[in-house]
Structure 1
């Protein structure tokens, strides 16, 4: 049974959970993805890792335009993560997070399709 004393604890738990998501995922995680994306754009080299059986990974190297489009995809995904986890838990920005997260996730998908097309057709 829930008592009046349980409610402050649940509220404190929600505050800690939101702060964890807001700062660790929304800032640190997004900054790490931005670092990866910008390094792929400026160096024009990217390596994709795919899991295979028995805990091994297969890698595929991208150079040139496919690496740049993959870098932009990482940037769009980082912005999506930032908007979703940081803006959603911010008092004055929370009303904007859904449309912006949708827009940047759509741009991420478009950039991934562009990466696949440029890699398949060797553009």
Structure 2
């Protein structure tokens, strides 16, 4: 019978193995580049401020100013989205997510819940 410590140890080993995968390493590398990019950081700051302003304009029933604010938000978002590093980040993120999802599905498929239930009935 396994105890909680054994399960946690195995989970940590699996976590380290997953973190060592090339796909995950590449994602982390691109993510670090995104966080170090001052232009992206500044655009994100402006975007958040504009989003707050847009919410306020909507709450105070200022439709024309709200529409202008939303257009500004869309322009900033488009500028960010058009940056090559952002496209690269999103692609790396998709690949990392797909890899992790594949691992989770493989683990789930390898565990037969019915078999576990019948083992408990035997005890």
- TM-score, scaled relative to structure 1: 0.37
Which has the higher Rg, Structure 1 or Structure 2? Answer: 2
The structure where strand makes up a greater share of residues is: 1
Structure with the greater relative contact order (CA < 8 A, sep ≥ 6): 1 or 2? 2
- TM-score, scaled relative to structure 2: 0.37
